[in-house]
Amino acid sequence: MIKTVDETLNEGEVSEEPVGASEQQIRDYYNGSKNLVWQRQAIFFAATVLTMFYFDPIKSMACYGAVLLTEVIDFAISRRVDQHQRIDDARARSFRGWIIAATILSSCAICLFAIMIALQEPTGGHFTPLFFLLSAAIFAAMNNHQIVSALAVRLAIYGASFLFIALLDILRESPPMSSDHWLHFFTVLFSMYFIVDCSFVFLKNYRKNLRQMEVLREEHERTKVAYRAKSQFVSVVSHELRTPLTSIKGSLDLINTGILGPVPEQFQSVLRIAGRNAERLGDLINDILDLQKIEAGEISYRFKAIDVKDLIDEAVEANKGFADKMDITLLADIDGKDGAPVRGDERRLMQVMSNMISNALKFSHAGGKVTVGFERIGDKIRIQVSDQGVGIPENSREKVFGKFTQVDSTDQRAFGGTGLGMNISKKIIEQHDGQIDYVSELGVGTTFFIDLKIWDQARAA
């Protein structure tokens, strides 16, 4: 019985829950932090060396130690986040609390560093500490915008330190409004506005990317559910069709062979056509099932060492009857050649070989010849199937290896086909880390070939 679409979708429910917005923000926050860890350390170290040379080295080292301590705390929280595969809402709130606390400590340590420099400077512009704070604020706006509360806390602490350093000389000297001290103060205010504006820009872009990622994730989940429904539908329908078709084909074969008695002459051509079409439909169902299993990743491969001479000999023997029926000579060009083991699944490679040989036979002329051979190319073996047939037009690779496509798709072609054989063969060879391709010349013939790794080379790789 064929299952309904609702039943199929229910069976194919996605077990993996999508990542929540809070979890995504926390992971993005720490992923960005980890990517920039050495850049931050280089900046901190360079600033410390500079201030040790021009200011009190002991205070500079003490501030540097405080900054490193906050880095260690941040790293510990990051490790805790990485240990959890899933972060629910309660755990996300806990991590946010830890992030805010770590942000306060880190911001205070950096601001203490800047204020320590400002207090040691004489009355003036305080360029060095203000530049350090400006750099830290821009760095935060660019890289810590994932969690708004943490960014707001950090910028608030930086802003308070900005104002303290800018007002330091004003409080010391009480200068008139026309003095440079007030000019520096208003310049600092302008810089703070610039930092806040940058923060909004980066935050807006991040939120936009989050929304786009969420839309893509939802589309991906819907696509997976639809794909599973399609695959199960194709599988069920194909199996349901194959059972009665096997019975129909078996009955037609019995009638055509005359076992059930003589067949009236006027019925013979009709029954032969019905038998061929039943066989063709059976091949189509088998190919669809194979393709569905390959695309769903349900085919398991048993790789082992396969002697290339034995593989070719067996493939030629299996297709000999078809070749004789078409009055075409099928040869195995392996005599006198040194064989070599290739890495492959014997059953699947035989399927590929049969596809290549049957194609060569179908597009060869009566009385022609199809040759199957091999040669060694570097660390690979190239297996070749050459015919003397009609050839393949240029720019036809998409048709040759596509789904349900054929080079000759007209009603006048001599032999039918599903249009899936070479597509399935390509997918099988790709699973063998190999390559399948062809060279052809119209009116002269075509050579299909597959390149497979030699067993020893494959094991070494």
DSSP string, 282-301: HHHHHHHHHHHHHHTT----
My answer on whether 261 and 340 are in the same domain is no
Q: Indicate if the pLDDT at residue 163 is higher than 50.
A: yes
Asked if residues 29 and 146 have their Cβ atoms less than 8 Å apart, the reply is: yes
Q: What is the mean pLDDT of residues 225-244?
A: 74
Q: Indicate if the pLDDT at residue 418 is higher than 70.
A: no
Interatomic CA distance for residues 72 and 62, integer angstroms: 15
Q: What is the pLDDT of residue 4?
A: 37
Q: What is the pLDDT of residue 307?
A: 92
pLDDT bucket at 457, cuts 50 / 70 / 90:
low
Q: What is the pLDDT of residue 438?
A: 94
What does the block give as tokens for 9?
């979708």
My answer on whether 245 and 135 are in the same domain is yes
Q: E strands within 70-159?
A: none
Interatomic CA distance for residues 389 and 369, integer angstroms: 9
> Lowest mean pLDDT: which of 3-12, 56-65, 366-375?
3-12
My answer on whether 70 and 191 are in the same domain is yes
Asked if residues 396 and 407 have their Cβ atoms less than 8 Å apart, the reply is: yes
Asked if residues 326 and 369 have their Cβ atoms less than 8 Å apart, the reply is: no
Q: Is 444 helix (H, G, I), strand (E, B) or coil?
A: coil
My answer on whether 282 and 336 are in the same domain is no
DSSP state at residue 12? T
What CATH number is attached to the domain comprising 351? 3.30.565.10
Asked if residues 26 and 147 have their Cβ atoms less than 8 Å apart, the reply is: yes
Asked if residues 319 and 361 have their Cβ atoms less than 8 Å apart, the reply is: yes
Q: Is 216 helix (H, G, I), strand (E, B) or coil?
A: helix
Give the domain-ending residue among 268, 299, 330: 299
My answer on whether 24 and 167 are in the same domain is yes
CA 85 vs CA 27, 81, 157, 236, 444: distances in Å: 11, 8, 33, 36, 61
What percent of the chain has pLDDT above 70? 89
My answer on whether 23 and 51 are in the same domain is yes
Residue with tokens 């009116």: 443
Domain around 453: 304-460
What does the block give as tokens for 202?
């980066």
At 300, give phi and psi (nearest 5°).
-100, 140
What percent of the chain has pLDDT above 90? 17
At 83, give phi and psi (nearest 5°).
-75, -15
What does the block give as tokens for 113?
């560093």
Instruction: Supply the angle between the helices 127-143 and 180-257 in degrees, to the nearest 10.
Output: 20
pLDDT bucket at 339, cuts 50 / 70 / 90:
confident
Residues ≥6 apart with Cβ < 8 Å to 69: 105, 109
DSSP state at residue 382? E
> Lowest mean pLDDT: which of 41-55, 140-154, 262-276, 303-317?
262-276
My answer on whether 277 and 348 are in the same domain is no
pLDDT bucket at 151, cuts 50 / 70 / 90:
confident
pLDDT bucket at 1, cuts 50 / 70 / 90:
very low
- Report pLDDT digits (tens) over 319-329: 998 899 889 99
CA 353 vs CA 57, 119, 166, 311: distances in Å: 77, 83, 81, 9
Q: How many domains does the chain have?
A: 2
Q: Indicate if the pLDDT at residue 404 is higher than 70.
A: no
Give the domain-ending residue among 248, 267, 299: 299
pLDDT bucket at 413, cuts 50 / 70 / 90:
very low
My answer on whether 130 and 249 are in the same domain is yes
Return the higher-pLDDT residue of 33 and 67.
Answer: 67
Q: Is 386 helix (H, G, I), strand (E, B) or coil?
A: strand
My answer on whether 164 and 31 are in the same domain is yes
Give the domain-ending residue among 299, 326, 360: 299
Q: What is the pLDDT of residue 372?
A: 94
> Strand pairing partners for 386?
371, 447
My answer on whether 309 and 334 are in the same domain is yes
Asked if residues 305 and 343 have their Cβ atoms less than 8 Å apart, the reply is: yes
Residue with tokens 């084909």: 249
My answer on whether 62 and 188 are in the same domain is yes
My answer on whether 1 and 18 are in the same domain is yes
pLDDT bucket at 406, cuts 50 / 70 / 90:
low
CA 232 vs CA 14, 193, 281, 285, 428: distances in Å: 15, 59, 20, 14, 21
Q: Indicate if the pLDDT at residue 436 is higher than 60.
A: yes
Cβ of 278: how many Cβ atoms within 10 Å?
18
What does the block give as tokens for 94?
């806990």
Return the higher-pLDDT residue of 57 and 226.
Answer: 57
Q: What is the pLDDT of residue 415?
A: 53
Strands 369-377 and 435-441: unpaired
Interatomic CA distance for residues 271 and 267, integer angstroms: 6
Q: Indicate if the pLDDT at residue 309 is higher than 70.
A: yes
- Mean pLDDT of all residues in the chain? 82
Residue with tokens 């194709």: 234
Q: What is the pLDDT of residue 32?
A: 77
- Report pLDDT digits (tens) over 244-294: 877 887 888 888 777 777 878 777 788 878 887 787 777 777 777 777 777
Q: Indicate if the pLDDT at residue 386 is higher than 90.
A: yes
DSSP state at residue 16? S
Q: CA angle, 420 as apex, 445 and 290 as ends, to 5°? A: 135
